[in-house]
Structure 1
Amino acid sequence: MAASSGTAVRPVILGGDIGAYATARTFHETYGVRSVVLAGVETWAVTGSVAVDHRVVTGLSDPDLLVAAIRDVAAEAPGRTHIVLGSADWLVDALVTHREQLGDVVVPYAGPGAMAQVTDKGTFTALCRELGIPVPETVVLRAGDGPGAAAGLTFPVVVKAASTTAYHAVSFAGKKKVDRADDVSELGEVLSRIAAAGFGGDLLVQELVPGGDAEMAAVNLFFDATGCGGSRSSGGCCWRSTRPGRSGTPSPRSPASTPRPSTTPAGCWSTWDGAGSPTWTSSGTPATASTASSRSTPASAAAGTQ
C-alpha cells in the first residue's frame, strides 16, 4: 500500500542486521516507504536494498551520539512522523532509557519496568512458567557459582546471558552469544571464561532443545495502545548464524506471512501455539505503530528465548 512520501511514517531503525532488513522490508512492502537504517558499519543485510536508506554512524553505543543521530534524521523531514526501532536488545534499551531526549519521535516500546520483565531472559522464563507457558528446564546462576549450581539439568545444555544489553558491554576472547556444554567439565570451562572476563550478571543454563535450523521462526507482532494486535510479520529460519556473536540467531528468513495494513481493523490474537497464524479477534479500532516482538522454537519449547 503506497503512501505519500510527504506525510507517511518514516521509520528509523538502529542496527544493520537481518532483523533491521526484515523490518524495513515490511514497512516498504506495506506502506511504500524507505526506512533510514543507522548502523556502526556498512552491512551486507541492508546495503543496496531499495527498502533502506543505509547510513553509517560510528559510536552508536555512546548515548549522546545515538540521540544526536536520531534527532538529525528527524530534522530532515519535520512534517513526517518518525518511528524509531532497535534491531537488538541493547539498542532498544538505549531508546527506552533516552526516550525523553530524542525529541518529537515515536519510540513504540513500553516503559523501563515492563521492558525489563520481557527482555531479561531469567525474568521472562519465570514469567512464562507462572503463566503455564512451556519453557526448557532452566537454572539461573552467576558465572562464579560454578557448574555445581546447575545440578539436576540434563546435558547437553546452553549458556547465555540473561541480559544481552549487559553482556554486550563485555568483550573477551572466545565470547559467544550462546555457548554449548556437553558435560559438567565443559560447563565449568564456559563459566570460568565468563567469570574471568568480569561479567557478574545472571546467566541462564538451559537444557538444549533438539531440532534443526528450519524449526526456528521469527515473529514481529505490532500492537496498539490497548495491547491488541494490529499487524504481524513473520518468517521461517533457513539456517542459524555461525558467527560467535550471533550464535542461535536466525540468518536469512523466508517470509511466512504478509503484514496487515493500517486500514485493517485492529484486534487481539486470542490463541497462538507458535505455528501457523494466530486467531484474529476484531476489535474495530484502528491499528497504531506500537510494536513488540517474539521468537518461537518448536511448540514444545515455544517460549525458549534466544
Structure 2
Amino acid sequence: MADFRPVLLGTDLGVYSIARSFHEAYGVRSIVVSNQSRGPVDHSRILDNVLVGAGASEDQTVAALVDVARRHAGTPLLLLVNAEHEVEMLVRHRAVLEEHYVIPYAANEVLTAAGDKEVLAAACERLGIATPATRAVDLSSADDGGWAPPRLDLTFPVVLKPAVSAEHLLLSYEGKRKVYSAATQAEADAVLRRLATAGLRDVVLVQELIPGDDTQGRTVTCYVDRSGEVTLMASGQLLLQLHAPTMIGNSATILTEAQPQIEAQAAAILGELGFTGFANFDVKVDPRDGRAHFLDLNPRIGRPNYYLNVAGRNPARAVVADFAAELGTAPASGPLYRPEQELGVYSYLPWRLVRRYLTEPELRRRVGRVHRTRRFTHPLAYPLDRDPRRGFYRAASTVNLVRDFKEHYPEPTPTGL
C-alpha cells in the first residue's frame, strides 16, 4: 500500500470513481471532504468521508482541508477536485493549500483560461480545428434599462450555455437547465432574458446546433505532465447522456473505442494553451460531413472518469508518476499503459435502457456484443467495496434514472435535445 493519501472534494459518482482508481492502482484509501453524506461514497471501504456540514462556505471548506492536512502531518497528500466551482476555489486559495498538499493542476492563469469556452474557441480557430459557429452575449450590462438581447447572425436552431459554468451553477431559478436550445431568434431572446433575470452577469455562448443524437458525441480525457508531455490519453464514443434539465451533457454510457484523430486534436489544443494536469473534452461529430467539432474543455478529469479504466488507462498512475518525488513513491519504470486502448462500455445505466436509444442497427449490435462479453462496467460495482447498503443505493439510483429518462427524454431525437 502506498504511503500517500489522495484527498478529494465532493460526493458524486465521479469522486467515487477517482477513489476507486487510486485503490485499484495503489491499494490506498482516499479521504473525501464533503458537506454531506451521499450514496456514491456512503458505506465505502475504500475511502474515509470527512463531513464539513451542509451549507458550508468556501472558507469553511478550505479550513477543513487544512485541518485534514494537520491531522495527517507527515503523510504526503494529493488534492483533487472535480467540479467547476471547486476549480475556482482552488485558484483563489491555492497559496494556502499548497502549503499542505500536492496540487496537480496548471498555473492559475492557465487553469482559469482553459475553463472559458471563448478561450477554447479561439485556440481551435488558431489550430484549424472545428468548433460550432458561436456568438458571445455579455450579460454584464443586463441591469441597464435599455438592455435587450442582440440580434444573432447564426443559423437556427442554436444552443445557449454560460461561457464559464461555475457562476451559473450557483444560481437557483425555476426552469433552470444546464444547456438551452432555441429554434428561433425569439426563443433565444427569451432564454437570454431568463438568464439575465435569474442574475447571471457573465457571457453566454450561443452556438449553432450540430445535428445528431447522443451517439454523435465523443469524449477525450488527457493528463499532461509538468514537462508538457501527454502521458495519459483515452477516448470513446458517447452512447447516452443524462437528459434531466440540470444534468444534460453528463455522459452516462460510453463505448471505449479509441478516436485517434480527435485525440491528436485534443493534444494540440492543450499544447497551444500550455496546459498541464487532467483535461476532458466534449466533442460532437457532424453526421453531414463527419467533421468533429470541439464543444467544451473541462480543466479536470470529469464526472465519467472511470471510462478511462474500462479503456485500460488508470488515471491515478499518470498523476502519481508526475509527482512521484513529492508523494514519496518510486518513479515509474517503463510504459504506464499498454499501447492499445481496450474496448468496453462504461455505463451506470442498464443495458435494456441504453439499447432503446441506439437507433443505428450496427452500433446496437456492436454494443450488444460487448455487453455479452461482460465488458459493460458500472463505476460503483467494485468487487472490493461490497456492502448491501451500497447495492441498495445502486438499485434505487437506477430506478430514478430510468424514471428521469421516461419524463425528460422518452424517445431518441435527431438532436439529442
Shorter-normalised TM-score: what interval?
0.7 to 0.9
Q: Cα offset for 1:141?
A: 0.7
One-letter amino acid of the structure 2 residue matched with residue 274 of structure 1: I
CA contact (8 A) 1:234 1:256 kept: yes
Q: Cα offset for 1:30?
A: 2.2
Match of 1:24 among 5, 19, 22: 19
Q: How does 1:14-93 map to 2 (within 5 A)?
A: 14-58=9-53, 62-93=57-88
Q: Which consecutive residues of structure 1, in runs of 5 or more, have no partner in the other structure?
A: 258-270, 280-289
Name the residue aligned to 2:283: 297
Give the Cα separation in 1 of the matches to 2:183 and 2:35.
35
One-letter amino acid of the structure 2 residue matched with residue 245 of structure 1: T
Does the C-alpha gap of structure 1 residues 296 and 42 become closer, same or farther in structure 2, counting only changes over 3 Å? same
Name the residue aligned to 1:161: 162
Q: How does 1:99-248 map to 2 (within 5 A)?
A: 99-102=94-97, 103-143=99-139, 144=142, 146-150=148-152, 152-232=153-233, 237-248=238-249
Q: Cα offset for 1:169?
A: 3.2
The structure whose residues are more often helix, as a share, is 2
One-letter amino acid of the structure 2 residue matched with residue 120 of structure 1: D
Match of 1:274 among 244, 262, 265: 262
Which structure carries more relative contact order (alpha carbon 8 Å, separation 6+)? Answer: 2
Deviations 1:15-69 (A, max 9, x none): 2233323322322222222322223333333334554434443357622111112
Q: Cα offset for 1:228?
A: 0.8
Tell me the secondary structure at the aligned position of residue 114 of structure 1.
helix
Give the Cα separation in 2 of the matches to 1:60 and 1:233.
36
Give the Cα separation in 2 of the matches to 1:148 and 1:67.
40
Q: Which consecutive residues of structure 2, in runs of 5 or more, have no partner in the other structure?
A: 268-275, 286-290, 298-417
**In angstroms, what is the RMSD of aligned CA positions?**
3.0
Larger radius of gyration: 2
CA contact (8 A) 2:161 2:206 kept: yes
Give the Cα separation in 1 of the matches to 2:239 and 2:245.
18
Give the Cα separation in 1 of the matches to 2:240 and 2:68.
34
Q: Cα offset for 1:232?
A: 4.3
Does the C-alpha gap of structure 1 residues 234 and 124 become closer, same or farther in structure 2, counting only changes over 3 Å? same
The count of corresponding residues between Structure 1 and Structure 2 is 277
CA contact (8 A) 1:176 1:245 kept: yes
One-letter amino acid of the structure 2 residue matched with residue 149 of structure 1: R
Give the Cα separation in 1 of the matches to 2:189 and 2:40.
36
The structure whose residues are more often strand, as a share, is 1
Q: Cα offset for 1:162?
A: 0.8
* Percentage identity across paired residues of the two chains: 32
CA contact (8 A) 1:17 1:87 kept: no
Moved more, 12-21 or 194-203: 12-21
Q: Cα offset for 1:222?
A: 2.0
CA contact (8 A) 2:132 2:293 kept: no
One-letter amino acid of the structure 1 residue matched with residue 221 of structure 2: N
Name the residue aligned to 1:96: 91
Give the Cα separation in 1 of the matches to 2:219 and 2:56.
25
Does the C-alpha gap of structure 1 residues 172 and 81 become closer, same or farther in structure 2, counting only changes over 3 Å? same
TM-score (norm 2): 0.59
TM-score (norm 1): 0.78
One-letter amino acid of the structure 2 residue matched with residue 83 of structure 1: L
